[in-house]
Amino acid sequence: MFELGRELKRLFSHRPVQDGLSLGDASLLDLLDVTLLQAEGRSADVAAGRVGAKDRAARLIEASVVWRELARRTGDAAALRKAASCAEEAAELAKSESRPAALSEAMCQQAHAALLGSELFGEEGLAAAADYLLERAPQSASTQALRARLLARRAMAGGDAPAVRAAASAYDRAIGGSKPRVRADAYSTALLCRERGEFLVAAGARLKDVDLVRTGLLGLDAAVAALNGDYNPVALARAEEARGVGLVRLAELTGDVGPAFEAADLLEAAADLVTPDHAPLDWARLHHARGLALATVAEASGSESPFDRALQAFGKAYAVLEAGSNLALRTLVAQDRADCLVRRAEVRGDGFALDEAEAVLRSELAALRAPPDPVAWAVLQLNLARVYVAQAGAYGKDRGERARAGEALLGAFEVFAEHGLRSLAAAAEDALERLREDAAAHR
């Protein structure tokens, strides 16, 4: 820690405090908690707005990077708008000054902000905006990396093996084109390796391709090895979270519970890298991933204890996300938490456990703030329907549970469809179809 203090003092001594602490090096932002990151953003704004500032476009790009990182860690829409605004102003300046390199970087920062908005809030139109910007940006190493990311998104949407290979090759070219001669370049390369590995794991899980998941895990191992927890705690936490999810997917595909046990231990240790004050959404993702690992262990072992620990992990993640009703991650955690609760009741297989699960879900429905969050309401309805169907099976006769399940699923489907949540809408529709078939079989 003393060595770290001396290094920070050396790094920060070459620039006035009012210009910020990171010196335009995104890797140093990892060391700042949310409060310091906000201060850094304000300092970057001051540096960009100062009369006579040299290369104002570059200062605006630096400010955009800081505000975007704040938005990524917190889900703050205002910070994301600030990031997009700074990047747009930088692009206008670079264009007026006929500086293609600066214009490319500024437009890439605009595209990054749009993609982050799509990931945080589930707005697919923002991903289309990023694609539009990238097509018009002068070519550079930054556009090459972004192109790989957009190809990966398309491949995941289509689930097509050739598209997955094309996106992986695009990542390979972007990584091969980087020159990690200095710390900032090595950091950027590690982030690209993490992105590539995360994509290959997700694609492998979608295509049921074990080799693809293992290839992704190798890339994530390399990203972890390239990062130092003392200097890059947030980046390392993100890489470890992706590695943990990869191990869970490997366990699911192979039927070997060993990787899930490894993931649970790995993620528990990785949670110590950051705190809710330092990187709230990253901390929540780590606990969400740990919950998935423990739920996988519980499914394989048939034991209640891992389910209980999984619910605790999901609860920690949800507590951080509770205020962000518009965050896609909040919906995902709520769905997985409710699913874990229902699975625990189904594994126990008795009416009391199912009644307990119903009572918990109903209490969460009652606790929804007024006006209630419609997506959270629909997620709870989706899982209540599962409880009703399981109750009908456990009791051996239908006491109105299937009718209640149908009403809950129909309400959930309408909300998911209205909010453009296609995967959840499809899940509700599939459950409705199974319910109709089940009702026909019991006539």
The more confident residue out of 17 and 412 is 412
Tell which residue, 244, 282, 249, 250, has the closest CA to residue 266.
244
Q: Answer whether residue 279 shows pLDDT above 50.
A: yes
Contact call for residues 124 and 118 (beta carbons, < 8 A) = yes
**Per-residue model confidence (pLDDT) at position 369:** 64
* DSSP line for 380-399: HHHHHHHHHHHHHHHHSS-S
The tokens describing 18, both together, are: 């009012």
The tokens describing 361, both together, are: 């879900």
- Report d(CA 181, CA 159) in Å as an integer: 36
Q: What is the mean pLDDT of residues 290-309?
A: 92
pLDDT band of 9, cuts 50, 70, 90: very low
High-pLDDT (> 90) share of the chain, %? 63
**Per-residue model confidence (pLDDT) at position 182:** 45
**Per-residue model confidence (pLDDT) at position 408:** 93
The more confident residue out of 423 and 244 is 244
**Per-residue model confidence (pLDDT) at position 7:** 52
Q: Which of 42-51, 118-127, 168-177, 281-290 reaches the highest mean pLDDT?
A: 281-290
**Per-residue model confidence (pLDDT) at position 6:** 46
Q: What is the mean pLDDT of residues 297-311?
A: 90
- Report d(CA 322, CA 255) in Å as an integer: 33
Q: By three-state DSSP, how is residue 287 classified?
A: helix
Contact call for residues 310 and 301 (beta carbons, < 8 A) = no
Give tens-digit pLDDT for 360-411.
Answer: 888 878 877 655 678 888 888 998 998 888 888 777 777 888 899 999 999 9
Average predicted confidence (pLDDT) for the chain: 88
- Report d(CA 422, CA 434) in Å as an integer: 18
Q: Answer whether residue 126 shows pLDDT above 50.
A: yes
Q: What is the mean pLDDT of residues 220-234?
A: 95
Give tens-digit pLDDT for 136-159.
Answer: 999 999 999 999 999 999 999 887
**Per-residue model confidence (pLDDT) at position 315:** 92
**Per-residue model confidence (pLDDT) at position 185:** 75
**Per-residue model confidence (pLDDT) at position 82:** 97
Give tens-digit pLDDT for 11-25.
Answer: 544 444 445 555 567
Contact call for residues 321 and 313 (beta carbons, < 8 A) = no
Q: What is the mean pLDDT of residues 232-260?
A: 96
**Per-residue model confidence (pLDDT) at position 428:** 92
Residue 312 CB contacts under 8 Å (≥ 6 apart), including other chains: none
Question: Can you say whether the dihedral through the CA atoms of 84, 88, 89, 91 is positive or negative?
Answer: positive
Give tens-digit pLDDT for 192-210.
Answer: 999 999 999 999 999 999 9
pTM for this structure? 0.86
Return the HEC string of 346-376. HHHCCHHHHHHHHHHHHHHHHHCCCCCCHHH
**Helix (H), strand (E) counts: the chain:** 19, 0
- Report d(CA 373, CA 422) in Å as an integer: 18
- Report d(CA 100, CA 195) in Å as an integer: 27
**Per-residue model confidence (pLDDT) at position 355:** 86
- Report d(CA 378, CA 335) in Å as an integer: 10
b (16+ CB within 10 A) / e for 389-422: bbbbbbeeebeebbebbbebbebbbebbbeeebe
- Report d(CA 329, CA 320) in Å as an integer: 11
Does the bond joining 233 to the residue before it have cis omega, within 30 degrees of 0?
no
Helices (H), 13-122: 34-49, 56-74, 77-96, 100-121
With 0-12 / 13-18 / 19 or more C-beta atoms within 10 angstroms meaning exposed / middle / buried, residue 6 is exposed
Q: Which of 241-245, 318-322, 421-425 reaches the highest mean pLDDT?
A: 241-245
